[in-house]
Amino acid sequence: MPQENLPWYRRLHWQILIAMALGTVVGLVGGTEVVPKVDWLGTLFIKLLKMIIVPLILTSIVSGVASVGGGRDLGRLFGKTLGYYVLSSALAIFAGLFAVNLIRPGVGANIVGAESKTIPELATPSSPKELLLDIVPENVVAAAAESHMLAVIFFSILLGMAIAGLPDRPRETLQQFFGAAFQAMMRLTGGVIRFAPIGVFGLITTLVGSSGLESFRALGLYMITIALSLSFHLFVTLPLLLLVLGRIRPSIHFRNMVEPLAMAFSTSSSGATLPVTMNAVENKVGVSNRISSFVLPMGATVNMDGTALYECAGVLFIAQVMGVDLSIGAQLVVVFTALLASIGAAAVPSAGLVIIFIVLEAVNLRGPEVGVIVGAMLAIDRPLDMYRTAVNIFSDSCGAAIIAVSEGESDIDTAVVP
């Protein structure tokens, strides 16, 4: 039955929101004991999502790029996409910069009393040069096997361009093949998403049950500062971009994006959320595959507004805790490296915090004290990670909608699709 004929409690986005609420209650009441009983539900769901990512990205990009063709059309789309990424991330960074300078959460923060965690090893590039070298795969099958998203994206774009340049017969055959394979992947994605409420329940129960709410007190003001600036970007800046650049009503866009937002919140991973984002942007927001296949997979790894904001705000916070006064020049270095770091951050949980060391290095903040502060930040990172991941994927969807409008697509966010 189509979703619009269903009573509200059988609609997917309500079921996901109810699962989040239920997971919070069960986690709080059941505590650590309940975790082993439900954690597998979340793990299973994330595995299902990850299972579809590589074939989904490959078929989506190849069929999208093959239909755009190479040359000027592709160049224009690429330019608009990069332009949007830089604009939205820069606006996010300035929101963080402003909030930390205004509220000054690091002055007098009680880091010594806070719980601390050891920083995990995440494979993240350490310089722009390394990032660039990382994009080109040596072996495309190995890149796919390791879910190395940027490398898969790079190869898929080239393959799409190659197909677009073929003579009519083979070109049409391959366009049809990848187009049909993409439709099959989207159908599969739709099937997996039906299990979202159960998966989200498992994820949230595990999260709340294993961490409780205690450890969040020590760094309260810092958390509030980050949450406020993320909220400003999510509820003021991005809606303004939608309105001004795309003439799109933000309220409709928000409602069409409820499922991916809830999913980003529950998984803390833009990568794992990508199938759900693509499903909503194409089937609800109404963006063509030609645009969404270009803006969304690349956006999931490259365009991270929430993470960029966090890099900047986090480094300024650390400087405040250490009593270091960063000059305007140094703060500008932070802004610039925060942008680069967010591009390099992997689309997985906690990547944003691990990569903060790049930005710290750029302004010479290093040493054991920095390690202790980042450890304390890590102990309370999960809720912030959930929120910045939601901001990350929402910015991608806004970009896709705005670029679609600029490319002459009509019917973008004209109605709320249940």
- List residues binding ligand ASP (CB under 6 A): 268-270, 304, 307, 310, 345, 347-352, 385, 388-389, 392
Q: 367-382 b/e with 16+ CB inside 10 Å = b?
A: eeebeebbbbbbbbbb
**Contact (CB, 8 A) for 287 and 401:** yes
Query: How many Å apart are CA 18 and CA 10, to the nearest integer?
Result: 11
Q: Report the nearest approach of ligand ASP to the CB of residue 249 (Å).
A: 26
Task: Show the 3-state SS of 396-411.
Answer: HHHHHHHHHHHCCCCC
Rounded to a whole number of angstroms, the minimum distance from the CB of residue 344 to ligand ASP is 11
Shortest Cβ 5–ligand ASP spacing (Å)? 35
**Which CB atom, from 211 or from 406, has the smaller least distance to ligand ASP?**
211
SS3 content of the chain, % helix, strand, coil (to 5): 80, 0, 20
What minimum distance in Å lies between the beta carbon of 273 and ligand ASP?
A: 8
> Is 205 or 389 the residue whose CB approaches ligand ASP more closely?
389
The nearest distance, CB 75 to ligand ASP, in angstroms, is: 28
**61 vs 393, beta carbon nearer ligand ASP:** 393
If one counts every other C-beta atom within 10 angstroms of the C-beta of residue 191, the result is 11
Q: Which is nearer to ligand ASP, 175 or 269 (CB)?
A: 269
Residue 305: partners with Cβ closer than 8 Å, 6 or more residues away: 88, 89, 91, 92, 233, 238, 342, 391, 392, 395
Indicate the residue among 122 and 140 with the shorter CB distance to ligand ASP: 122
Structure token pair of residue 197:
């409420």
Q: How far is the CB of 353 from ligand ASP (least distance, A)?
A: 6
Helices 149-164 & 168-193 angle (0-180, nearest 10): 150
Measured from each CB, the residue nearest to ligand ASP is 352
Do 20 and 265 meet the contact criterion of CB atoms below 8 Å apart? yes
Look-up of token digits 């990205």: 57
How far apart (Å, rounded) are the C-alpha atoms in residues 389 and 350? 10
Give me the amino acid identity at 203. Answer: L
Q: Which is nearer to ligand ASP, 26 or 335 (CB)?
A: 335
236: region left, alpha or beta (phi > 0 left; psi from -120 to 50 alpha): alpha
Compare residues 285 and 355 and give the one whose CB is closer to ligand ASP.
355
Question: What is the C-alpha to C-alpha distance for residues 387 and 263, in angstroms, rounded to an integer?
Answer: 11
CB of 170 to ligand ASP, least distance (A): 38
Cβ closest to ligand ASP, residue 68 vs residue 341: 341
Give the distance, in angstroms, between the CA of residue 407 and the centroid of all CA atoms in the same chain.
24
Taking the complex as a whole, the smallest distance from the CB of residue 20 to ligand ASP amounts, in Å, to 17
Question: Are 237 and 313 within 8 A, CB to CB?
Answer: no
- Which CB sits closer to ligand ASP, 178 or 394? 394
The DSSP secondary-structure symbol of 118 reads P
Structure tokens at 209: 């049950």
Kindly state the smallest distance separating residue 59's Cβ from ligand ASP, in Å. Answer: 22
Tokens 């933000």, residue located: 250
* Smallest separation (angstroms) from ligand ASP to the CB of 356: 10
The residue among 182 and 387 lying less far from ligand ASP, judged by its C-beta, is: 387
